[in-house]
Structure 1
Amino acid sequence: MQVSVASTQGVGTANEDTVHVSPTGVVVLDGLSAPKDLPMGCIHGTPWYVRQLGTRLINLIGDDAVSLREALRSAISEVNDLHRGSCALDQEAVPASTVVMIRERGDILDYLVLSDNVLVLDLGDEGIRTITDKRVEEVASEEMEAALQGPTGTPEHAARVSALVTVQRRLRNRPGGYWVAATNPAAADEAITGSVDLAQVQQAALLTDGASRLVDSFGVLTWAQLLDVLRSEGPSALIARTREAELADPVGERWPRFKRSDDATAAYMTADQPTQTPPDRQ
């Protein structure tokens, strides 16, 4: 694989995304922001959590005998051990993260998606396939609609977002709710997984929702056009275009959203092209 990445901070004190790359794998995480007025049962915080989880995932998926679900389950358990004793892991208010990852395994590309990160696969003649887990949008619909009411950046808007997160925390990682990587290893069993022939994959993109919003929130690009930007200009250019759109609508009047700008991470992968060996000269 040939991989290029970019990640930039949105509104907030730290970038809660992270990306990890190995010769055969890519892991992209998007930490769930915790409003400052809500309690948190962990002393370490979300940026720490996504770094620890991502480091373990990229190491675990290097073993082809370990499925991506098994890797996620093990990584969650290992991070639990790191802050067990100093943090209240039995509370709802613990760091959590979305996950998208791919792994080259021989002639196969494995993938896993948990929550609303997006995996975009260009499969050549079969077209473009997008994989994401939108269960979070199916819960707390009333609170979500209220939280999308602008203007963004006001105390009133922040209070509505906090009310949404309060309800979402009660629905997180339980039947009838939605699933993310947090302290319950069983969340790995709820991830969307699959495999495709590596030879089919012309290009792929792993995106946090801050980097996919030009398509799925703003509607100013198609997935094909997003891949064109990544191929011709790179991940940094995609995020720069996203920031331009956000600045053009600073209070969310045209594109209602929870934050004026979100952390944005994009990883773009293309398949290695085999080197052509010239024929022997006679």
Structure 2
Amino acid sequence: MRTELVSEPGDPARPNEDFAGVGLPACGQGGSLVVLDGVTPPSGGTGCVHSVPWYTARLGGALTELTVSLPDVPLAEALARGITRTAEAHRATCDLSHPRTPQATVVLVRWSGGGVEYLVLSDSALLVESPDGTVTPYLDDRLSRLPRASLATDALIDTTLRNKEGGFFTAAADPSVAGRAVTGVLPRAEVRALAALTDGAARWTEKFREGDWTDLFGFVRKQGPRALVDRVRALETADAQARAHLGRSKTHDDATVVYVEP
């Protein structure tokens, strides 16, 4: 099995809000991966005494353990259990009903001899390559389909869209959002390799148009996750009008890539 993982903060002076992990059972058969992209909160606060990296580390650790130790539990249920476990760790000290309580996007994959199970929640991406070289993206595109006007301010997003019907969903403190994730199971024979990316790394395709998802996958396969993140950083740095081109305030975002040939 080939596994490569890179996770880099957008700003070296700030903690990385992403989480990535690969779990391998002691029996030596199968495995799982977890990729989380912590949601950077606005300056107004979150109702929580903990940071986003604290949250993603807690949730990511729980999901890495649950996806390996409970192989017969569906990934949506594993996510619900992980959210519940993490919420209980700070319910007594924090306002978990706050719309900006620490939260994250999620990609989970678990493979065995028989199949490959996947879950995607919010705007991180999962790419799966079949034996004939076809690359299929598995995406939760609800956020990208929303009208730009509905995303005009943080307050508007929080009151009308964030973790609400007709909007988009992230893993925060409510385990029921696990039921909103994009999920499925693929026959093991139809999966040669896969890659999970946070949106900071997916900018290569989604923002800078360096190629489509198949091109991105080929880049990672040949040159590795480190090369993809380095190329994204070079594109960001060269873009003198980052706000206009990227359509967001961050010139650099946390970027994570996990590549697996199970």
In the superposition, the TM-score normalised over structure 1's length comes to 0.85
C-alpha deviation, 1:117, in angstroms: 0.5
- Where does the alignment leave 5 or more consecutive residues of structure 1 unmatched? 147-162, 272-282
Q: Say if 2:255 is the partner of 1:261.
A: no
Residue 231 (structure 1) aligns with:
221
Contact 1:122-1:129 at 8 Å conserved across structures? yes
Which residues in structure 2 correspond to 1:1-282 (within 5 Å)?
1-11=1-11, 13-23=14-24, 24-36=31-43, 38-62=44-68, 63-125=70-132, 127-139=134-146, 141-142=148-149, 144=151, 163=153, 165-170=154-159, 171-252=161-242, 253-271=244-262
Aligned residue type for 2:22 = V
Distance 1:142 1:248, change over 3 A: same
Aligned-pair Cα RMSD in Å:
1.6
Q: Deviations over 1:205-224 (max 9, x none)?
A: 10000011111221112222
Structure 2: runs of 5+ lacking an equivalent: 25-30
Contact 1:99 1:115 in 2 (8 A): yes
Deviations 1:191-238 (A, max 9, x none): 000111122212111000001111122111222221222112211110
Q: C-alpha deviations, 1:111-150, integer Å up to 9, x for none? A: 0000000000111337211011121233462154x5xxxx
Structure 1 Cα separation of the partners of residues 45 and 105 of structure 2: 20
Secondary structure, aligned partner of 2:258: strand
Assess if the C-alpha contact under 8 Å between 2:135 and 2:217 holds in 1: no
Q: How many pairs were matched up? A: 252
Report the identity percentage.
Answer: 36
- Checking the alignment, whether the CA contact within 8 Å between 1:250 and 1:260 is kept in structure 2 is no
Q: Secondary structure at the match of 1:136?
A: coil
Given that 2:39 and 2:104 are in contact with CA atoms closer than 8 Å, whether structure 1 keeps it comes out as yes
CA distance in 2, matches of 1:259, 1:186: 30
Q: Does the 8 A contact of 2:115 with 2:188 survive in 1?
A: yes
Classify 1:183/1:10 alpha carbon distance in 2 versus 1 (closer, same or farther; 3 Å): same
Give the structure-2-normalised TM-score.
0.91
Closer, same or farther: CA 42–255 of 1 in aligned 2, 3 Å: closer
Distance 1:232 1:137 in 2: 29
**Whose radius of gyration is greater, 1 or 2?**
1
> Could you give the per-residue CA deviations for residues 32-69 of structure 1, whole angstroms, max 9, x where no partner exists?
00122x22111001110000000000111112111000
